[in-house]
Structure 1
Amino acid sequence: MVIREIGELLERCLKDWGIKKAFALTVDNASVNDGLVKCLKDCLNKWGTIILGGVELHMRCATHIVNLVVGDGTKLVESSIVAIRATIKYVRQSPQKSKKFKECVEFEKIESKKLLCLDVPPKWNSLYLMLDTIVKFEHAFERSKYDKYWGDPQKMNKNIFVAIVLGPRRKLDFVQYLLVKRFKKDKRKLYGDMVKLECTKLFEEYRRLSYNGSSSSNSQQTSTVRCNFDMVSNEVRSSTRSRSQVLSDYKRDKASLGEAVEKIEFGRFLNEDPPEDSKDFDVLK
Structure 2
Amino acid sequence: MQKKINAWKTGIIKCRFLHMRCVAHIINLVVSDGMKHVDNFVVRVRQAVRFIKQSPARLLKFKKCIVAAKIITKKLLCLDVCTRWNSTYLMLEAALVLEDVFERYCEEDPYYASELKDREGKGKPEIADWDNVKRFCQFLESFYDLTLRVSGSLYVTANIFFHELVNISTLLKDLIDSDDIAMSLMASVMKDKYDKYWGDPEKINLLIFVAVVLDPRYKLEYVEWMLVEVYGSSVGNSLAKKVKEVLFLLFEEYRASHSNDVQKEEISATSKDDNACVAS
The interval holding the TM-score normalised by the smaller chain is: 0.3 to 0.5
TM-score (norm 2): 0.35
Higher RCO (CA < 8 A, seq sep 6+) = 2
Q: Which has the larger radius of gyration?
A: 1
